[in-house]
Each structure stands twice: as structure tokens, then as C-alpha cells.
Structure 1
């Protein structure tokens, strides 16, 4: 009898595939999302600075200051909503809200359990040493600049394939959606770990589907 994999509880990444989806809106979402891209540029700059402050706070107190934790969680939530709307999934046509707060009725949701204590030893090495194997994997998922050229990652390519299929069939392939969710879930788990928001090492596996394993799907 096969033992099911342990549930990874610190980070919960969920999505609900909207139906129906526009057959052609995906062609212009890169334009519609520009205001979010501009805001996220500054938010991610702040995320890095906040993480530096949190690093020293954890090193001396073993605690991640709650206000800083909530801000960085908000940045990850905002990023996930924009990614879900645009070329990280193309799974909703509902425009992402401009907020760091949780939006319970938005199709894409993210939550991270606030840690009461964090290891002083791990904070010194996990973001640059322990996370390296994950960086290699998610680099393939996300793509980036290579040799002066920009390469699309696997997630974007799969989302565009799903969009083309949607354009000709009016349906978003469910199996493809589950795979895209699994890839995004992996990326966000690593982001939380590298951002010092949890000491639980992310698993090397694809937990596919719109809901986290071991949870009840949202209605």
C-alpha cells in the first residue's frame, strides 16, 4: 500500500478555474496588467528590504516581526493574483484588486502560517544555500534572461497553450490547469522559504490541482 505524501502545511496556494473564460481577452492581458507590474516592481523592492530587516530580527530574537510578515505576505498574495490573471495561469478574467490584503472571493488565494519561532541557524543559510536546488528547478519553471535574450518559462508556455486551446474550443483544459497550479504552488512555497517566512523545507514534488492536498475544495 502506497503511503500518501505528507501535507505541506505552512504555505497554502489555492485557485478556482473561472468558467466561462473569454476566448480572446488573454491576448491583451499583458497591457491590462501593466499598472500592476509597475506597482509590483516597487513592492518587490520593499519585500527585499523588509526581508533584510526580518533577517536580523530573526537572528537576534528568533521572531519574524508580525507587521513585516504581513506586509511580505501581502506582496506574495498580490503577485499570485496578478500571475493567476495574466500569464502565470490565465485562469480568470476577473481583474486583480490593488491590495495587500486577503480577498476571500478572488479565484486565487495564498496564505502562509505565521511562525511563532524561527531558527537562528537556518536563517543564515536557508535562503542562499539550502534553497539552491529549488532555485534551479523553479528557474526552469519561470524562465528569465539568458545570454541577453528573454526566455519564457514552462509556466508561461503552458498557460499560453491552454489559452490557444481555449480560443478554439471555449474550454480551458483541466489537466493542464492542474499542472500549472502545481508549478505555481512549487514556486510560491520556495518564495516563502527563501523569504524567511517558514523553516519548513519545501518538498520536491508537484502537488497539482486547485486546492492544497488534504483540504476540502472551495465551492
Structure 2
């Protein structure tokens, strides 16, 4: 749903089922862990994940502040990097009919990072999320233009 609504990644409505849909351009696969560290359960979802929470919050929850009237009185609104990228992608789609390739790659990296942190904090895995905007093996190179509705796979 986030790929459809928040990233403008496709114009196809997402299937609402738990089964795999090979024809839909976005999917989430979580491997069942063979074994988890029992001691980390008490601290990894809050203490160990704290640096990850801060970075993901900066990328998705707000980083730039628009001040009202130049005063620092708490007025104004927060706008996140992902919101700015969403607007750039929206204008690119509106005027050119194509998704800007670099914006697509950056948004995919931000959303993948966020989902990895959610999986780690939800105790799905003991593998600490990497500090990088990873586009993965299935994503296109950032310099390519991504057409609307394309999955980015060949």
C-alpha cells in the first residue's frame, strides 16, 4: 500500500491479500527466523534500534521546518525528505509522464530502510539493519528513467 499511495510507485491498486502476486511490482518477503537471541529481546526494540529510529524519523517524519513569519515560536509545519521527494515525483509524473529515476531509487531506499527497522524492532530478526539506502538487486540504476506502472524488473 505504501508503494502505491506514498511513493506513487505504480498506478495499479494493490491486492489486499496475504498471498504472493507475481504481477504486482512491489512485495514484502520476511524469512522466518531459525533462532533468535533471547537476551536481545529485552533491549533491541528500544535501545539498539534508537539510532535507526532517529535516522528513519529524519528521513520520513520531518527534518526541515517551515517557519511562520520568521519567528521561532513553534509555529510552522514540518516537512520530511520523503514528502519533498513525493512532490517532486508527482510533478515529474504530471508534466512528463515518467517517474524521475533518481527520486524513485531514493524513495525505494528510504522505504526499505524503514521497513528493515520495523522488522528488527518487531523482533522478526536479529540482523541489525544496515545504515544505507539500499536499492537491492531488483531495482533499476538511479540514472534510468522509470515509466509509470513499471516494476523496474527485466
TM-score by length of 1: 0.55
Cα distance in 2, alignment partners of residues 210 and 179 from structure 1: 14
Cα distance in 1, alignment partners of residues 28 and 12 from structure 2: 17
Cα distance in 1, alignment partners of residues 18 and 32 from structure 2: 16
CA RMSD of superposed structures (Å): 2.3
Gaps of 5+ in 2: 66-73, 140-151
Aligned length: 132
Q: Deviations over 1:105-125 (max 9, x none)?
A: 211111111101101111110
Partner of 2:142: none
Higher share of residues assigned helix: 1
- Residue from 31, 46, 49 that aligns with 1:131: 49
- Residue from 75, 78, 82 that aligns with 1:155: 82
Partner of 2:153: 218
Runs of 4+ in 1 over 4 A off after TM superposition: 146-150
Cα distance in 1, alignment partners of residues 85 and 29 from structure 2: 25
TM-score by length of 2: 0.76
Pair 1:109-2:27 in alignment: yes
- Residue from 166, 169, 175 that aligns with 2:96: 169
- Residue from 68, 75, 84 that aligns with 2:3: 84
TM-superposed deviation, 1:150: 6.2
How has the CA–CA distance of structure 1 residues 107 and 150 changed in structure 2, closer, same or farther, with 3 Å as cutoff?
farther
